[in-house]
Amino acid sequence: MIDMRQLFNAYTQLRQNPSQFLQKYGIPQQFTGSSQDAIQYLMNNGKVSQEMYNNANNQLKQLQNNPMFKQFFNK
């Protein structure tokens, strides 16, 4: 089960300073320009597998289609 409080804390840090947040988790600065670069770095280094990313992407899509999620984030 995901710890939602930790998730929101991480989310807030990511919003405030994305590059710093990603560097904190070991991603070199040159890969922190975009989320695309960051995830590609993690996949190239085998820290994130294709299956892990596919599952995460799938969960995110489901979450984005959830009416309550839309109500929450579209305010």
Q: Specify whether the CB–CB gap between 41 and 29 falls below 8 A.
A: no
Which residue, 23 or 48, has its beta carbon nearer to other proteins?
48
Sign of the CA dihedral 41, 57, 6, 19? positive
Residues lying near other proteins in the complex (CB under 8 A): 1-2, 4-5, 8, 11-12, 14-15, 18, 33-36, 39-40, 43-44, 46, 48-50, 53-55, 57-59, 61-63, 66, 68-69, 72-73, 75
Phi, psi of 48 (to 5 degrees): -125, 125
The CB-of-72 to other proteins minimum distance in angstroms stands at 5
